[in-house]
Structure 1
Amino acid sequence: MKKILILFLFSVVSLFAFEELTTDNFETKIKNKNAIIDFHAVWCPPCKVLNTKLQEFEIIKPDNVEIFKVNIDEQLALAKKYKITKLPSLVYFKDGKALKTIVGIQSPDELLKSSRKIFDLE
Structure 2
Amino acid sequence: MAAVALTKDSFQQNVESGVTLVDFWAPWCGPCKMQLPIIEELSEEMGAQAKIAKINVDEEPELASQFGVMSIPTLILFKDGQPVDKMVGLKSKDDLKSKIEGQL
Normalising to structure 2: TM-score of the pair? 0.90
What residue number does 2:90 align with? Answer: 105
CA distance in 1, matches of 2:39, 2:7: 20
1:103 Cα offset (Å): 0.8
Normalized per residue, the structure richer in helix is 1
1:59 Cα offset (Å): 3.2
The answer on whether the counterparts of 1:60 and 1:112 sit within 8 Å (CA) in structure 2 is no
Could you tell me which amino acid in structure 1 is paired with residue 25 of structure 2?
H
The answer on whether the counterparts of 1:38 and 1:88 sit within 8 Å (CA) in structure 2 is yes
| Bigger radius of gyration | 1
CA distance in 1, matches of 2:47, 2:9: 27
Structure 2 unaligned blocks of 5 or more: none
1:62 Cα offset (Å): 6.4
The answer on whether the counterparts of 2:2 and 2:43 sit within 8 Å (CA) in structure 1 is no
Normalising to structure 1: TM-score of the pair? 0.78
Write out the 4+ residue segments of structure 1 that deviate beyond 4 Å after TM superposition. none
Give the secondary structure class of the aligned counterpart of 1:39: strand
Are positions 1:70 and 2:81 aligned together?
Answer: no
Equivalent residues, number = 104
Could you tell me which amino acid in structure 1 is paired with residue 53 of structure 2?
F
Tell me how large the CA RMSD over aligned residues is: 1.4
Deviates more, 1:16-25 or 1:34-43: 16-25
